[in-house]
Structure formats: C-alpha cells, structure tokens
C-alpha cells in the first residue's frame, strides 16, 4: 500500500537529515513524502528552497521513498524580517522569493506546489495580517499560473477561514481544491463545503473523522530537529496510525488507497505507483 505523509521537513544540520528520515519513514511503512522547506530566520529566503531540491533528489535516488516538494516562504518570516525593515520592504522581499520559488516549480517535476505560505498562526498587528493576505493572494495567482497546488499555514481552522480561502482562490480563478490547509483540525465537512482540501495531523485521524468523510490527507509536520525530537509528530506516525486503524477495521485497503493515493494524486495532479 501507498502511505503518504503530506507535510514534513528534513534538516541535515539540526536533525537526522534527508536520507535517515526517508529510510525511517520507509521502514515504518511509509512510501511517499511531501516535503517543504523550513523557515531560516536569517534573511535568506531562497537558500532553504535550493537545499530542499537537493534533498528530494537524494531521497529519490538513494532510498525507496518517493519524495515530492513544495517551496515557499513561511509566514513567520514576515514578522522576523519586520524587525529589521519596513513592512513594505518585507513584502517586496517575500514576493521576490515567491517568484524564485515559482521558477523552481517550473524547473523540477517533483516540485508540486507553493508552500507553506499564508499568515502567522500567532497574534500579530493588523497590518501584518493585511500584508500576509496580499502575499497569499499573490501566491494563489502564481499557483494558477503554474497549474500547481498551494499549502497554507495559518491560524487554527474555522468555517469562516475556509470560506475566506475559497473565495480568495476563486478571485484569481484558482480551483479551491488545489488549496491545501495544513494543520486543519478535523475540518473535513467544511473542506467539502468550500472545496478547500484538509491536511490533518495523523493523531487527529480516528473513526469519527473517517465516518464523516475520506476527503482529506494525513500529515505529521515533522520538524527534524534533534533538540526537539518528535515535533510536531514523529516521522513514523502516519504509517503507524494508518496501520492501527487498518487493524481495528476502521480503515480497509480501499479507504487507505483513497486517502493516501487518490487524494494525493487529485490535489497535486501527479501519479503514484502502487
């Protein structure tokens, strides 16, 4: 069976590194990794994108895991940069980095979207939210132009938020189904209503959720930092939870196929081999 982690990070300096993470994931039963570049908080917004490209190439060459990636500017970078420069300058710098990310998506088939982008999940001044939303809309415009997906990082999900993101996507003619909300609680019904695609932390996936809908994907948001082991969830969690639900009869092979293969193919417009 194909088992996919839809949102994880690798870090060759602070963590186990790309190859060890991929092998650990594979040995636990995982087969497909969707990786995103980490924020750096050093003013360089593109170096981590280049590193991710090399890491994905290494994983696909040296392990049995199939890796894909999204590149972007984490919204926390906006508040970091605003400590050192005016917000309008921050916006220009982030837009420039998003343009660079877009050029990478055009250049590499294994890069399937822009992400994680959006707005800070913590309280910030109104003007930062406004600039973050302007940048997010620009990212959606680029996603439409590139015919790719977008993963959003934002505050805790709500129906109002799903409606907002859906309307924002439609305003630039981007199919809301190509918009994935990372860390979205159990918002599967709201996702169906507004066509946003939920990416749910593996430890939130249970029988009650599965009865509501199979229109979601699973993630760990694994950080790969040896000083913070298992944050947010360990890299083995998606395969472990999937197998546990299979053993309990909550999932069967057809449902696993829907979540981990069909839905991933649907949102990223890719083909996964069984």
Per-residue DSSP letters for 14-66? Answer: TSS-HHHHHHHHHHTT--EEEEEPPP--SS-SSHHHHHHHHHHHHHHHHSS-E
Q: In the predicted model, is pLDDT for residue 274 greater than 90?
A: no
pLDDT attached to residue 126: 96
Residue ranges and CATH numbers for the domains of the chain are 4-268 (3.20.20.140)
Q: Mean pLDDT, to the nearest integer, of 48-67?
A: 98
**Burial class of residue 184 in the structure, from the number of CB atoms within 10 Å of its CB (0-12 exposed, 13-18 middle, 19+ buried):** buried
- Strand 111-118's sheet: what is its strand order? 4-8, 32-36, 66-71, 111-118, 149-153, 179-182, 197-201, 217-219
Beta carbons of 31 and 4 less than 8 angstroms apart: yes
Query: 134-141 contacts: CB < 8 A, separation 24 or more?
Result: 134/91, 135/73, 135/75, 135/78, 135/91, 135/94, 135/95, 135/98, 136/168, 137/168, 137/171, 137/172, 138/95, 138/98, 139/72, 139/98, 139/114, 140/168, 140/169, 140/172, 140/174, 140/179, 141/172, 141/174
Q: Mean pLDDT, to the nearest integer, of 94-105?
A: 98
Helix (H) or strand (E) holding 180: strand 179-182
Whole-number Å distance between alpha carbons of 98 and 75: 12
User: Residue 33: CB partners within 8 Å, gap ≥ 6?
Assistant: 4, 5, 8, 21, 22, 25, 59, 65, 66, 67, 68
Whole-number Å distance between alpha carbons of 23 and 65: 7
Q: Mean pLDDT, to the nearest integer, of 226-249?
A: 96
Q: How many CB atoms lie within 10 A of CB 91?
A: 19
Whole-number Å distance between alpha carbons of 272 and 242: 18
Beta carbons of 41 and 83 less than 8 angstroms apart: no
Whole-number Å distance between alpha carbons of 220 and 183: 9
Whole-number Å distance between alpha carbons of 272 and 229: 30
**pLDDT per residue as tens digits for the range 149-164:** 999 999 998 999 999 9
Confidence class for position 12, pLDDT limits 50, 70, 90: very high
Confidence class for position 2, pLDDT limits 50, 70, 90: very high
Whole-number Å distance between alpha carbons of 165 and 98: 19
Whole-number Å distance between alpha carbons of 264 and 219: 12
Q: In the predicted model, is pLDDT for residue 132 greater than 90?
A: yes
pLDDT attached to residue 100: 98
Q: In the predicted model, is pLDDT for residue 189 greater than 90?
A: yes
Q: Mean pLDDT, to the nearest integer, of 202-227?
A: 97
Confidence class for position 273, pLDDT limits 50, 70, 90: confident
Instruction: Round the average pLDDT of the chain to a whole number and report it.
Output: 97
- Three-point CA angle 22, 24, 25, nearest 5°: 65
């Amino acid at each position: 069976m194909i088992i996919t982690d839809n949102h994880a990070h690798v870090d060759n300096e602070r963590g186990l590194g790309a190859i060890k993470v991929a092998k650990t994931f594979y040995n636990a039963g995982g087969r497909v990794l969707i990786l995103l570049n980490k924020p750096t908080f050093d003013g360089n917004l593109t170096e981590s994108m280049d590193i991710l490209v090399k890491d994905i190439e290494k994983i696909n060459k040296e392990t049995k895991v199939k890796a894909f990636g999204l590149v972007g500017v984490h919204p926390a970078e906006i508040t970091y940069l605003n400590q050192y420069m005016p917000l309008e300058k921050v916006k220009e710098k982030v837009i420039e980095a998003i343009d660079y990310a877009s050029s990478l998506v055009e250049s590499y088939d294994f890069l399937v979207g822009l992400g994680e982008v959006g707005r800070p999940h913590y309280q910030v001044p109104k003007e930062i939210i406004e600039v973050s939303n302007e940048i997010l809309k620009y990212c959606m415009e680029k996603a439409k132009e590139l015919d790719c997906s977008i993963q959003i990082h934002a505050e805790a999900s709500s129906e109002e938020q799903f409606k907002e993101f859906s309307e924002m996507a439609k305003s630039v003619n981007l199919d809301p189904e190509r918009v994935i909300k990372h860390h979205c609680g159990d918002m599967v019904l709201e996702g169906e209503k507004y066509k946003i695609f939920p990416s749910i932390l593996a430890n939130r996936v249970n029988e009650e959720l599965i009865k509501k809908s199979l229109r979601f994907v699973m993630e760990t948001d694994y950080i790969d930092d040896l000083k913070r082991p298992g944050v947010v969830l360990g890299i083995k969690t998606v395969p472990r939870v999937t197998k546990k639900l299979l053993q309990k009869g909550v999932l069967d092979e057809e449902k696993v196929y829907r979540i981990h293969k069909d839905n991933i193919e649907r949102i990223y417009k890719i083909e996964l081999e069984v």
